[in-house]
Amino acid sequence: MSLLLVASTKLRSRRGLLASFVSCVGLSCLSLGSLAAGCSGEAGSTTPGASAATGAASPRDVELLHVSYDPTRELFEAVNERFVARERAENVNVTIRMSHGGSGRQARAILDGLEADVASLALAWDIDALAREGQLVPADWATRSPNRSSPWYSTIVFVVRRGNPKGIHDWGDLLRGDTQVITPNPRTSGGARWTYLALWGWALRQEGGSEATAETALRELYRRVPVLDSGARGASTTFTRNQIGDVLLTWENEAHLLLAENPDAGLEIITPTVSILAEPPITVVDANADRHQVRDVADAYVRFMYDDEAQEIAARHHFRPRSEAVAARHRGELPELTLFTVEDVAQGWAAAQERHFADGALFDRISEGRSEAPR
């Protein structure tokens, strides 16, 4: 095309131009055609009936789209590999596509048409949204698998700089002196909601603790946050690479991964005496899995998360496994601490949403105060 364009004589350059235009238009038709072919191919691969019907000998091809939240990338990469191997033994070729992002944003994307067959989000409230706003899962989705559909759990811990110069050991220490705290925005980040409720719960459980003192504690905390990132990974980057803040509040698994990935950054993990029981749930998205006719494989995938093989992988990725056997093997790797639940401190997610995270609720009022506070 460019060769044609640099043709020297006027006549030839005219023809060259013509040819280049024709080739451009041709190219666009071609690419549109291949796009259409790509789409139909995609549709073909998600309808497993064809290959399944041809007989037991030829393997069935299944593609699952698993939409997850941010700090699970490494975990599910490892889990998927095992699940794919296991299904191959049963003559099913599974391809698992992953999409990661902030939990709330991912829930929105699924509601807006990201056709997830399986969703694992940071908190039950975001999956409740799939039931409430899109009827994509039944309202009782959480009861379909053990432990409120959370195959493992985690909690919120602190990451501090080497030697813990600010002497941070528990939640109360965050609110002292000129400590700067890094935590993402609870409006967009699931981990940040757990963090928010962890501090709330800690404050309620203090001697003389009440909703008023807990509110003061929250105000005091968010006054110290210089950057409200939109997700856990963004906050990790702010803390580690940009060297902002004295303490990072994040998922326990994310904290361990952060240390492993940045061995030279001089970071230490501090586990507080109490924290919140953070349960990231996983579920089949019924509407999509049924439509794609992959329900059986999607169900098997979710069940596999409770298998000791997956539990072992989760434990290695610093989640706390539910399986007694696996938990026993990894005892001592993660410190013991008292964990309270969302039900204990906020009467569940629906109440927490209304009281804390809805428009004009407590977090909004706190962040208004935050922007007005003198820096």
Partner 1 sequence: MADARHDGLRERPRGAGWAVAITSLCLLALLVLAPLVVVLVEAFAEGAGTFLDAITDEDTVSALGLTLLVVAIVVPFHTVFGVAAAWLLTRQDFRGKALLGTLIDLPFTVSPVVSGLLFVLLFGARGWLGPWLRDHDVRVVYAVPGVVIATLFVTLPFVVRELVPTMEAIGRDEEEAAASLGASGWQILWRVTLPRVRWALFYGCVLCGARAAGEFGAVSVVSGHVRGETSTLPLHVEILWGEYHTAAAFAVASMLAASGLVTLVLRGLLERRVRASKARSSSAAHASAALALETSISSVPSKGALS
Positions touching partner 1 (CB under 8 A) are: 5, 10, 13-14, 17-18, 21, 24-25, 27-28, 30-32, 34-35, 38-39, 42-43, 65, 67, 70, 73-74, 97-101, 109, 111-115, 133-134, 233, 237, 257, 261-262
To the nearest whole angstrom, how small is the minimum distance from the Cβ of residue 326 to partner 1? 25
Between 287 and 362, CB nearer to partner 1 = 287
* Count of CB atoms situated within 10 Å of the CB of 241: 10
Closest CB 236 distance from partner 1, rounded Å: 9
Least distance between partner 1 and beta carbon 113 (Å): 4
Shortest spacing between CB 277 and partner 1, in angstroms: 26
Q: What is the C-alpha to C-alpha distance for residues 76 and 119, in angstroms, rounded to an integer?
A: 12
Nearest to partner 1 of 168, 285 (CB atom): 285
Q: Which is nearer to partner 1, 70 or 87 (CB)?
A: 70
CB nearer to partner 1: pick between 114 and 244: 114
Going by the DSSP 8-state scheme, the letter that residue 159 receives in this structure is E
- Please state, in angstroms and rounded to a whole number, the distance separating the CA atoms of residues 35 and 161: 50
Q: By C-beta, is 100 or 166 nearer to partner 1? A: 100
Backbone angles phi, psi at 296, to 5 degrees: -60, -45
How far apart are CB 217 and partner 1 at their closest, in Å?
31
**Residue 104 near residue 187, CB atoms below 8 Å:** yes
CA dihedral 167, 169, 170, 172 (to 10 degrees): -20
The rounded distance, in Å, linking the Cα atoms of 109 and 16 is 46
Instruction: Give Cβ neighbours of residue 346 (< 8 Å, ≥ 6 apart).
Output: 197, 200, 201, 352, 355, 356
Which residue, 78 or 361, is less far from partner 1 as judged by CB? Answer: 78
Question: Per-residue DSSP letters for 304-353?
Answer: HTTSHHHHHHHHHTT-EES-HHHHHHTBTTB---EEE-HHHHHSHHHHHI
CA–CA dist 90, 296 (Å, integer): 13
DSSP 178: T
CB of 265 to partner 1, least distance (A): 11
Please identify, using beta-carbon distances, which residue of 96 and 362 lies nearer to partner 1. 96
Cβ proximity to partner 1: between 67 and 182 the closer is 67
* 154-193 burial: b if 16+ Cβ within 10 Å, else e: bbbbbbbbeeeebebeebebbbeeebebbbbbbbbbbbbb
Q: How far is the CB of 69 from partner 1 (least distance, A)?
A: 12
Residue 18 CB, nearest distance to partner 1 (Å)?
Answer: 6
How far is residue 129 from each of residues 104, 109, 198, 232, 284, measured CA to CA in Å? 9, 11, 22, 21, 14
